[in-house]
Amino acid sequence: MSSYLDFSLNGKVALVTGASYGIGFAIASAFAQAGATICFNDIKQELVDKGVAAYKEAGIEAHGYVCDVTNEEQVNAMTAQIEKEVGVIDILVNNAGIIKRIPMCDMTAAEFRQVIDVDLNAPFIVSKAVIPGMIKKGHGKIINICSMMSELGRETVSAYASAKGGLKMLTRNICSEYGEYNIQCNGIGPGYIETPQTAPLRELQEDGSRHPFDQFIVGRTPAARWLKPEELTGPAVFLASEASNAVNGHILYVDGGILAYIGKQPN
């Protein structure tokens, strides 16, 4: 098979941060189906244990590690442990993230810094930890989970949008700085995804009507629906595979068309 059509991840070691559940879990599971060995972290042992159990139930043997990705010492220790126990990391997905929906003038500087720390500093720290191994190995794939908030603003998400906008540019800078070492760094920008965290926003109201935010998202999306985590997996496998070797510094928005759409004209 031509390498330009090679979507296999056989023999690859993939680290997906914060992948005990949700988007990270879906991406890691797809990597496993494509042949990769899966490593993931979470901040608490109980979350790691739940993640390992969920992967096992899906028929996947995943390696879980307790690690705070904002702590450089912990990240370096985890990276060294993975290299010793599993192998040098070929694929990194910077998935771990948080959001605080607080109006800007009500948000403290400490709250703002926390979001920046998890959503922007952590991808820098983890990428920095794995890049030397990728250089020695002669290849590497880094995928940053960006957001439509890399491009758009909205009420109450000043910290999140700032972090994701910064992550978009970190993606492009890693491409610029390490592309010559056959390392590709790209981003995926999810749209609004059906996850346990968004479930309350999709529940019917007592009168049978849709939640106002649900109505807003469906009306704002050309696909006219929320997306499923699994719909991110095809793009993720592509960006992790040899088929994407010429794709670098790109943000692939998997958003059902939101960024292309100005919205419906009022009746």
Distances (CA, A) of 211 to 13, 17, 79, 144, 265: 41, 31, 43, 30, 21
The answer to whether the CB of 101 falls within 8 A of the CB of 197 is no
pLDDT tens per residue, range 63-109 = 999 999 999 999 999 999 999 999 999 999 999 999 999 999 999 99
Q: Give the up-direction half-sphere exposure of residue 203: CA atoms within 13 A in the CB hemisphere.
A: 7
181 is catalytic: no
Q: Are strands 37-42 and 62-66 parallel, antiparallel or unpaired?
A: parallel
Name the pTM for this structure: 0.96
Q: What are phi and psi of 16, to 5 degrees?
A: -115, 115
pLDDT tens per residue, range 179-197 = 999 999 999 999 999 988 7
Alpha-carbon distance 174 to 157, whole Å? 25
Alpha helix segments (H runs only) across 138-266: 158-178, 199-202, 212-220, 233-240
Choose, from 4, 21, 65, 160, the residue flagged as catalytic. 160
